[in-house]
Amino acid sequence: MTLRVLEFNDVGIRVSDHSGVIASSPGYALVTGQRIEFGERARKQSRLSPLNCFNQFWHKLNLDPFARPVAHYRHNADIAFSHLQDLASVTKLDGDVLLAVPGSFSRQQLAILLGLIKQCSFSAVGVVDAGLAAAIDHSRSDSVIHVDLHLHQVVLSKLERQGGDLVRESVVQVPGTGWVNMSESLIQLLTSAFIQQCRFNPQHNAQSEQMLLDGLPAWLRESDAVDALENSAATDSDEARRNLLVSIDHNNTVHQARVPRSSLSTRLQPFFQKISQQLSLLNPEGSSRLLVSDRLQGLPGFADELGKHFDRISALSEDTVGGACLRYHEELTSSPEAVHFVTRLRPSAALTEQTFVAVEQPTHGVVQHRARKLSDGMTILGRIATDGRPSLELLRRGGRSAAESVPVLGEISFDSGHFALRVTEGGAAAGLQINGNAALPVQRLHLGDRIGLVSTTDTIELIRVQDGNE
């Protein structure tokens, strides 16, 4: 049977195989009578039936009895077990499974989880710290910190190289900074905008409040470029880039409000500062590389906050943990009767090379017919050309005078054989694009990519010079 991976993060418990992530089920449960629904189905009814919806059973995985009856469920572990059964049914999960669990899990929670799985249709043959799995192929640095978003907290895992191994050294939980907390704050911001601009309070009705929650992830991902092209005339493009247009269709009426994009990051800043404070304690000398999970990369302002404290930041994809577990399955697999928790692992040079050399990487960026060699710490600047059109410029670290008031649109980093682009607030406002599509806050770069702007045909084309110099 095919070996699969279960990655436990209540934002979405992921099931992966060699093809990548095949399912993700948020840690929500909706109990109505003796019936229970899980995952996205339950999440989409969390504001419609708030008293019957639960989302802390993974965060507080325990055997403590509920204060009030919840159908036939006695405690959080009972609901978690039913969630596992639902996930197994949906994905036809059976046979051997590797578990990736957050470092925030206590020994007792890990024991409860393994006990639940013994009653399931699949068998746990290995357990690894999720932060270690995420970092194992990004461990060229002596010290790395993995940061991941959960429903009710952010988990920071510091890993260090000891001899030839990568070892989990410490784990810090940042309570009150999870997606539930952030989304609630953003919903309050959007609600205020609707009330002020169209006298409509979406939180006065459960259905419209649910629409607000459901639409939030897409609104956060919505690009300035798409807004400029689809929602505005050319003369209004600057205003459209500054503001996010939010729409709710309720009772045959479309309600719209414009929210300054800067207010989104401002609203989330208190959460980011809490995370940043803990990161500073973990990394007082500023020597660690930061690994950011995909769950955090779409949050406005987060990359800018991290950039204040870290020079080296790597963005991880959604299949990072699952893929690493499968590549290192021999080192992680043990007997189902004696599963051990892996917090120390030796990177495989052969596997790392196979992972990163399969696709040729760019070496240079061509700007206005000039090829500049790519390097860690480069910046992309936006200038106004002599003909009045905006143009792009690619400079090495330190290549810009501090007195120069030229906006930085993006920064290029290099890690584990890959270049990545981090978009700054200036780049987001200007509508920075990759291949004609809005650039993600942090995005891996590939050979042949073209970096450009909404308002100009100027691009930076990424090429590979074989055995060439700058």
Q: What is the CATH code for 4-171+286-355?
A: 3.30.420.40
pLDDT computed for residue 403 by the predictor: 38
Exposed/middle/buried for residue 107 (C-beta within 10 Å: 0-12, 13-18, 19+)? exposed
Which range is most confident: 133-142, 164-173, 352-361? 164-173
Q: Where are the domains of the chain?
A: 4-171+286-355, 179-265, 364-463
Q: What is the CATH code for 179-265?
A: 3.90.640
Q: To which H or E segment does residue 394 belong?
A: strand 390-395
pLDDT in tens, 185-195: 999 999 999 99
Domains 179-265 and 364-463 share a fold: no
pLDDT band at 121 (very low <50, low <70, confident <90, very high): very high
pLDDT in tens, 387-411: 556 778 888 765 554 435 678 888 8
Exposed/middle/buried for residue 3 (C-beta within 10 Å: 0-12, 13-18, 19+)? middle
364-463: CATH topology is Tumour Suppressor Smad4 (2.60.200)
Spatial CA neighbour of 250 closest among 291, 214, 280, 292: 214
pTM of the model: 0.75
Q: What is the DSSP letter of 288?
A: P
